Amino acid sequence: MRRPDPGHSDDRLPRFTRAERWVHHATALLMLVCLVTALLLYVPGLSAAVGRRDLIRPLHVWCGFALPVPVLLGLVSRAFRADLRRLDRFGPHDREWLRRADRRAVRRVGGLDRGVVPVGKFNAGQKLNAAFTAGAILVMLGSGAMLAFPGPWPVHWRTGATFVHDWLFLAVALVTAGHLWYALRDRGALTGMLTGHVDRAWAARHHPAWLDVLDGARPTPPAPAENEKDTSVIRE
Spatial separation of the C-alpha atoms in residues 41 and 28, rounded to whole Å: 20
CB 197 within 8 A of CB 13: yes
- Output the pLDDT for position 226: 54
Largest CA distance in the chain: 67
The full length of the chain comes to 236
The pLDDT profile of the chain, 236 residues, written as one tens digit per residue, is: 344 444 444 588 999 999 999 999 999 999 999 999 998 888 767 766 676 677 888 999 999 999 999 999 999 999 999 999 999 999 999 999 999 888 888 888 878 889 999 999 999 999 999 999 999 999 999 999 999 999 889 999 999 999 999 999 999 999 999 999 999 999 999 999 999 999 999 999 999 999 999 988 655 555 555 555 454 455 55
Let me know if 41 is exposed, middle or buried by CB neighbors in 10 A (0-12, 13-18, 19+): middle
Amino acid 185 reads: R
Let me know if 219 is exposed, middle or buried by CB neighbors in 10 A (0-12, 13-18, 19+): middle
- Output the pLDDT for position 16: 97
Spatial separation of the C-alpha atoms in residues 140 and 8, rounded to whole Å: 46
- Output the pLDDT for position 132: 96
- Output the pLDDT for position 104: 87
Pick the closest to residue 175 from 105, 226, 125, 235 (CA basis): 125
Spatial separation of the C-alpha atoms in residues 195 and 197, rounded to whole Å: 6
Question: How many other C-beta atoms lie within 10 A of the C-beta of residue 29?
Answer: 13
DSSP state for residue 102 in the 8-state scheme: T
**Across 82-226, where does the E strand assignment appear?**
106-109, 112-115, 197-199
Long-range contacts of 189-196 (CB under 8 A, 24+ apart): 192/15, 192/16, 193/16, 193/21, 193/24, 194/21, 196/14, 196/15, 196/16, 196/17, 196/18, 196/20, 196/21
Instruction: State residue 206 phi and psi, 5-degree precision.
Output: -105, -25
